[in-house]
Amino acid sequence: MWRRGANFEGDTANFIETEQLFETEEFKFSFLQARGSIPILWEQIVDLSYKPHLRVISHEETPKIVDRHFHDLMQRYGEVVALDLTDKHGEEGQLSAAYAAEMQNQQNVRYVAFDFHHYCGSSNFDNLKILYDKISEDFEKQRYFLIDRQGKVLEEQRGLFRANCIDSLDRTNVTQCYLAQKSLNLQLQRIGVLTSSECISMFEEEYGKFRILWAEQGDEISLEYAGTHALKGDLVRYGKQTLTGMIKDGVSALSRYYLNNFHDGLRQAIFISDALDLISGHYNVSRNVPSPFRSNNFEPLTYLPVASALIIGGLTATTLTLQQAGRNTHHYVSSVLCAGITAGVMAIVKANGRHFCSRPRLCGLL
């Protein structure tokens, strides 16, 4: 979470083009979609919170950044429809509002906001039809790519749907799977495999293979960016949330929390942030300056296990003494003292949350 949004060239922190290929003996079909970070300046720095705070960075270059990003997309793909799947309340809502405000200046890009959590929650996958109804004309206009066995181009895709949520992982994958299914229906109807009233979801075996394909694709992208399997995978695999899926999502969510706070900073330091700062000259090596990787100064991260032990021990001691607090004043005072120490340690850890997290060393906190 050290790199979010876009840089000044309009390139986003993550951007993935997904191509769905379908081939028969006579024809080859292709359907392209893209996902990527919201292309404005914003940050989300880990600080031990489960959901780190989002902050939109106000900058005079923001309109140009958005222009550069979508100009590049239109040069490559043609017409672009931007699907914003973020929440419309809280900090996500503030980020979404900032994005929507910038998109008002994009005359050649259609911006469609769809609060995925509001409409679909954790299981109402069919409510994506509400989104599709908004974009159906654009979808049918953009079509897909089609060539025959002789290599003759029979159809060209005339644009691109660019989707995003916050991480552009879980909600985005569910939405892209839905659009890919719609495209596959059109393709199968085009060559006469399906009638105009039929769709692939009517054929259980084939539909199951399609859903597994998209679920595994979502897992691969999520493993690359977040280190865990995608959340909401059951919505893609089965069209509904299952108990097993909810347990897996819980485990993945906890794993993401650990990786975000105590692992990803070091990984970015080695492969991205610090390496780029060093190569580009943003950080200058000097014999007179001690290495930030071998600092003898206070390192909060090394004290986190001690702080955690104190918190757990304090909570345990507080609980035990509270059970006996009614017997005499001594136990009551001990409970208050343990609770106070525990609260103090927790306050210190919370106040220094950013420093307790794994982070790049050369670029400092953003």
Q: Where are the domains of the chain?
A: 15-197, 294-356
Q: How confident is the model at residue 1 (pLDDT cuts 50, 70, 90)?
A: very low
In degrees and rounded to multiples of 5, residue 149 shows phi and psi of -65, -30
Residue 366: predicted pLDDT: 38
Q: What is the pLDDT of residues 97-115, one digit of tens each?
A: 999 999 999 999 999 999 9
Residue with the bigger pLDDT between 5 and 229: it is 5
Res. 183: pLDDT tops 80? yes
Mean pLDDT computed over 170-186: 95
Res. 334: pLDDT tops 60? yes
Residue 317: predicted pLDDT: 72
Residue 10: predicted pLDDT: 93
Mean pLDDT computed over 219-241: 78
Q: Which two tokens stand for residue 330?
A: 């001594």
What percentage of the chain exceeds 70 in pLDDT? 80
Q: Which two tokens stand for residue 18?
A: 């997904």
What percentage of the chain exceeds 90 in pLDDT? 49
Q: CA 347, CA 339: separation in Å to the nearest integer?
A: 12
Backbone angle region of 165, left / alpha / beta, with phi > 0 → left and psi within -120 to 50 → alpha? beta
Q: Which two tokens stand for residue 223?
A: 């493993």
Res. 39: pLDDT tops 80? yes
Greatest mean pLDDT among 192-201, 330-339, 349-358 lies in 192-201
Q: How confident is the model at residue 46 (pLDDT cuts 50, 70, 90)?
A: confident
Residue 222: predicted pLDDT: 84
- Does the reported pTM lie above 0.85? no
**Contact assessment for residue 127 and residue 120, using Cβ atoms and an 8 Å cutoff:** yes
